Structure 1
Amino acid sequence: MSQVHYVSSQRLSLEQIDQILRKNFTLALSEEAVEHIERSHSYLLKKLADLDQSTYTPNEACFINGDQQELVNQQQKNFLLSHAGGTGPEVPAEVVKLMLLLKIQSLASGHCGVQLQTIKRLIDFFNREVYPVVYQQGTSAALAHLCLPLVGLGEANFQGYKLASQHILEMFSWQPISLAAHEALALLSGTHFVTAYGTHTLLQTKRLSNNADTIAALSLDASNSNPTAFKPLLHQLRPHKGLLETVKQIQSLLEGSEIVQQKKQHVQEDYFSRSVPQVHGTAKDAILYIEEAFTTEINSVTESLVIFPEEDEILSGRNIQGQPLTLALDLLTIALTELGSTSEHRTYQLLKEDKGISELLTAGPDAVSFYTTSHQTAAAIANQNKLLCAPSSIQHTATAYGQDDYSSAGASSAAMNAYQVVHNLETILAIELLNATMALKLRRPLKTSYKLEELVKAYQEAVPDVSPDGLLHAVLEKTVHFLRGYQAEIA
C-alpha cells in the first residue's frame, strides 16, 4: 500500500520531494490545508464585488459576478485556452509530476483563492499518474496546459498512452471542474514550470556530485596518481567548505588502496588531477546556494494575485518573476559543466602513454577504437555543455504590449539548459567509469580500496559484457543505466 504525504504548511524539503517521487507516495490534504483553502476561497468570493479594479485589471483577473456561474466558468475556460500556446517537445512525465506536486503545494497555502475541489482534482491526477501534456517552449503556457484537463480540455498521458482529457475524465467518472471567478488566473500563474525542471535537475545533481567524487578517485588510483595533492594539511590553508568535503571524501575513498602505497615515479600530477578538490568542491558550494534558492521557491506562493484573508488584503506584485531561479540555474549549469570537463579530461589522462597502462588499455586496433572513441564522445558532450552555459539570467523581453516589460525570458532556457547538462554529465561520468574500470583491471594483481573495489564489482556485475570488439553504444547505455541507480557512499 502506498505511503501518503499530507500537504500542509510544513516546509517541504528536497529530501522529502525525493522520497515522495522515488517511493511513489500518494498525496492528500491535511485538515489545516483544507481549512486554509476554504477560508481563502470564501473570502475572495465575498470581496469580488467590492474589489478595487486598480488592484488588478478585470481582463487579467477574469472577475465576473459570482451569480453568473455558467458565464464565469466559460470565461475561465477561455482564459486557460487563450494561454495554452505551448509548442515544441513534450515535457517529460517526471517533470510534469513535479509540476503537479509544486502547484498543489502552492495552491494549498490558502493564499490563492481557488476551490477545494480544484486542488483535489490535481491531487487525483498526481495519485492516478495522469500527466497532462505540457510543452517545453512557452513558459507562460506551461501551467495552462497543465490545468486544461481540469475542465476536460487538452490531452494527458496515462499508462503510456496520450489521450484526450475528456476520455480520461470519463474513465474515472470525474466531472469537469466548473471554475469559479479568478481560478484560471491562479492556475496559470506561478514559477512551477521552471521550479519543477530545476528541482528535478538539482536532485540529479546531488547524486552525480557524489558519484563524480567516487569515479574521480577510481580514475586517480587506476592511473597510479600521486596522492600528495589530496593531503588535508595542504587544504587547511584554503578552507572552502566544499573543497574540504571533497578532500575528506577522496581520502576516505582511497583508504587502504594497495596502489596508493606503491612508490610513485612522478612528483606531481597534471593540473586537472590536482584540481579535483577545487573544482568538485566549488561545485558543492554552488549546489548549497542553489538548493537554498529552490527550497525557498518550493515553499513560496508565486501566483500573480495573492490573498491574505486575516489581513483583509488582496495584493498584486511580481512574485511570479523568475530571476531568483534563472540566476541559480545559470550557476548550476556552469557547475555541472565543470564537473563534466574534469571528468572528460581524466578519461583523456587514462589514455595517455605516461602512466604505464595506456599501451595496454589501447592494445590492438579494436581496443584503440573502443576506448578512444568513448573519450571522443565524452569530449563532444563536454563541448556541448560549454555552449549551454550561455547565461539566461540576462535575457529579458517585453511582452503583452509592454505590460510584461521585465519578464525573466530566460527562465525556460535556463531550466532546459540545466536539464540537458545534468543528463550530459551522467554520460560523461559513465564513460570515465568505463575507462577507469579497465585501467584498474590492468593494474592487477594490485587492488584499490575496499570502497572502490565494491563499486567496480557492482559495475562489472551490471555490465559484464565489456569487450573492445563489442558494440560501444550498448556498453555506454548500460553504464549510464548502472550509474543512474548507483548512490555513492558519503564519507
Structure 2
Amino acid sequence: MVHLNGSTLTLMEMKRVIYEGEEIAIDPLSMEKVMKSRLAVEKIVASGETVYGINTGFGKFSDVRIQDKDVDTLQLHLIRSHACGVGEYFPEPVSKAMVVLRLNALIKGYSGVRPCVVERLCDLANEEIIPVIPSQGSLGASGDLAPLSHLALVLVGEGKVHYQGRIVPTKGVYDERGISPLTLKAKEGLALINGTQAMTAMGVINYIEAERLMDQCDWIGAMTFEALEGIIDAFHPAIHEARGYPEQMEVAKRIRKLTSDSKLVTHQGDKRVQDAYSLRCMPQVHGASRQSLAYIKEKLEIEMNAATDNPLILENGKTVVSGGNFHGQPIAIAMDFLKIAVAEMANISERRVERLVNPQLNDLPAFLSPDPGLQSGGMIMQYAAASLVSENKTLAHPASVDSIPSSANQEDHVSMGTIGARHAYQIILNTQTVAAIEMICAMQALEIRGITLASTSAQKLYEKGRTIVSSIEEDRVFSDDIEALSTWLRADQFQWNIHGQFILG
C-alpha cells in the first residue's frame, strides 16, 4: 500500500502503483487539510465575496461574477467545455498516473475540494476504473486543461473509462458497480483541471521506460562490442576516472563486467589500434545520456508533490491567491532534455548496427546474409533503424521554446510541456525499436563468430533472444522479428540489479 500525503510520493512508488497494481491510501492528516480548505471555500461562497475560480468565470472571463445559484452549474460547464482533447488516447498507465497525481496534489490542502472528490479519485485508481483521455490538446499552461477535463468527466459519470480490458462509457460502469456520479461544487471543477498532471504523468512513464532502456542499451551495446571484436583497453578504469563523470565510469564498468570472460574482445594492436567511436565512446555517450536522469527525476518528484492549481487557498483558508503554479515550464524543459538524451542512445545504436552489417567495416558476411546477393539479410533493418533515428531528430526539437497566446491573450505564454512529454514517449518507443534491431544483428553476428566464444552475459542474452527471434537462415519478413523483440524490451524483461549484475526476467 502506498500512502499519499501530497508531499513524499516517489517515482519508485509510482512504478509500484502503475506497473505492479499496488493500491493507494490517503493519509488521515492530509484528509484533515482537505476538509479545512473546503471550509474556507464554503465561507467564501456564503460571504458573497468575489474570488476567481469560485464564483467567477475563467480565463478572460475572470471578471464575470457568477450568481450564487449558478456556482455549481459553472463547474459542470467548465468541465464539459474544456474537454476538447483530440487524437489518440494516452496509454492506460499514463491515465492512471494522472489520477494518482491529481489526487496527490489535491490532498495537500490548497485546493478547496470536498473529501468525496479525493476519495473518488482514490477509488478509481484502486478499482482500475481509469479515465480515457485524448493525448492532444493541451498547451501546458493554465494547466493541462483539456486532458484533465476528460479525467474530471469520469467523476461526474460522463466520458469513457478503461475497464476490465475494454473502453466503455463511464455511466455503464457506474451503474454496474452501484457508484453515484458526483455533483461538483464551487471551485472543484477548476481544482480538478488546473494542473500539470498530464505532462507529469507522461513524464513519470517516460522516466521509468528511459531508465530501463538505458540499462538495456548497455547490454546490447556490449553484445555488439563482442561481435565486432572491440578493443577493451578503451574501457580501462583510469581513462574514465581521468574525466570524472560518475555515469561514464559506471557504463565503462558495466561493459568490462559484461565482457569479462569473452574470448572475442581484443586489445590494442591485436587487430587494430583503435575502434570507431560508436564502440570506443559508449561510456562517454551512454553516460552523458544517463546524466539527464538525475535532473529529470528531481524535477518530476518535485512536480509530483506540488500544488499546481489556481487559485490556492493559503494560511488555513485566510488567504486565496491567484498565481501561476499551473505553468508547466519546469517539466517542459525536463522532457526536452529527456528527448535529447534518449535520441542519442538511438543515434549511437544505429551506428553500431551499420558496423554490424556493412562489409566495408567488418569481416563478417555482407549484411549478415546467409547467402549474400541472393539474400539481403539485415540490409533493410539498418534502413529502418536509420529512419527511426531521423524521426527522433525531428521529435527532439524542443517544445519548451514554443508558445502561442490563448484566452484572448490573457494566457500569453504557455509551456507546451505535454507536447514535449508526448514526443519524449515516441522517441523512447523508437529507440526501443532501434535497440531491438541492434540486438537482432548482434545475435546473428555472434552466431557467425561462434557463440561459445562470447561472454557468459552475451550468451545468456543470446539464448533468451533466440526464443523470440530465430537465426537468420533465410530471408523472411523481419518486421515481425523487430516487433516481437521490441515488445519484449518494453516488458521489463532485463535490467541491471542492485548487485551490479544484469538479470533476465
TM score, norm. by length of structure 1: 0.93
Separation (CA, whole Å) in 1 of partners of 2:470 and 2:358: 25
Question: Which residue of 390, 393, 396 corresponds with 1:389?
Answer: 396
CA contact (8 A) 1:43 1:309 kept: no
Contact (CA 8 Å) 1:219, 1:346: kept in 2 or not?
A: yes
Q: Is 1:149 matched up with 2:154?
A: yes
Kindly indicate whether the alpha-carbon contact (under 8 Å) linking 1:153 and 1:164 is maintained by their aligned counterparts in 2.
yes
TM-aligned CA deviation for residue 308 of structure 1:
2.2
Cα distance in 2 for residues equivalent to 1:125 and 1:54: 31
- Alpha-carbon shift at residue 446 of structure 1 (Å): 4.4
CA contact 2:225–2:265 (8 Å) conserved in 1: no
- Given that 2:358 and 2:367 are in contact with CA atoms closer than 8 Å, whether structure 1 keeps it comes out as no
Question: Alpha-carbon deviations, 1:176-199, whole Å to 9, x = none?
Answer: 102111101101110001111111
Pair 461,327 (structure 1): closer, same or farther in 2 beyond 3 Å: same
Unaligned runs of 5+ in 1: none
Mapped to 2, the partners of 1:477 and 1:188 lie a distance apart of 37
Q: Which deviates the most, 161-170 or 53-62?
A: 53-62
Shift of 1:162: 2.8
- Paired residues in the alignment total 484
Residue 213 of structure 2 corresponds to 208
1:375 maps to 382
2:251 is aligned with 1:246: yes
Matches within 5 A, 1:80-479: 80-139=79-138, 140-260=145-265, 264-310=270-316, 312-353=318-359, 354-359=361-366, 361-365=368-372, 368-408=375-415, 410-444=416-450, 446-464=452-470, 467-479=473-485
Task: Say if 2:232 and 2:266, in contact at 8 Å, map to a contact too.
Answer: no
Task: Name the stretch that deviates more: 196-205 or 266-275.
Answer: 266-275
Compare 227-236 and 398-407 and name the one that shifted more. 227-236
> Cα deviation per residue 1:376-409 (whole Å; 9 max; x = unaligned)?
111111110011111111111111011101121x
Farther-moved stretch of structure 1 (49-58 vs 259-268): 49-58
Alpha-carbon contact 1:286-1:332 (below 8 Å) kept: yes
Q: Can you list the C-alpha shifts for 1:8-62, whole angstroms capped at 9, x where unaligned? A: 2451111111111221012222222222211221222123344764766711279
Shift of 1:224: 0.5
Q: Which runs of 5+ in 2 are unaligned?
A: 139-144, 501-505
Overall identity of the aligned pairs, in %: 29
Structure-2 change in CA distance of 1:166 and 1:446 (3 Å): closer
C-alpha deviation, 1:222, in angstroms? 1.0
Aligned amino acid, residue 283 of structure 1:
S
Shift of 1:451: 2.1
Provide the rounded CA distance (Å) in 2 between the counterparts of 1:335 and 1:358: 33
C-alpha distance in structure 2 between counterparts of 1:49 and 1:474, whole Å: 64
How far apart, CA to CA, are the structure 2 residues paired with 1:251 and 1:463?
Answer: 27
Alpha carbon RMSD of aligned pairs, Å?
2.2
Q: Is the 8 A contact 2:25 2:122 kept in 1?
A: yes
- The one-letter amino acid paired with 1:126 is A
Residue 36 of structure 2, aligned match among 39, 42, 46: 39
Measured after TM superposition, the shift of residue 161 of structure 1 is 3.0
CA contact (8 A) 1:389 1:417 kept: yes
Determine the structure 1 residue equivalent to 2:141.
none
Asked whether the equivalents of residues 337 and 425 of structure 1 are also in contact (C-alpha less than 8 Å), the reply is yes
Contact 2:2 2:13 survives alignment (8 Å): no
Distance 2:373 2:190 in 1: 61
Take 1:397 and 1:418, find their aligned partners in 2: how far apart are those partners? 21
Which stretch shifts more, 189-198 or 365-374? 365-374
Distance in 2 of aligned mates of 1:126 and 1:93: 11
- Give the 3 Å change call, closer, same or farther, for CA 154–446 of structure 1 in structure 2: closer
Query: How far apart in 1 are the matches of 2:276 and 2:484?
Result: 30
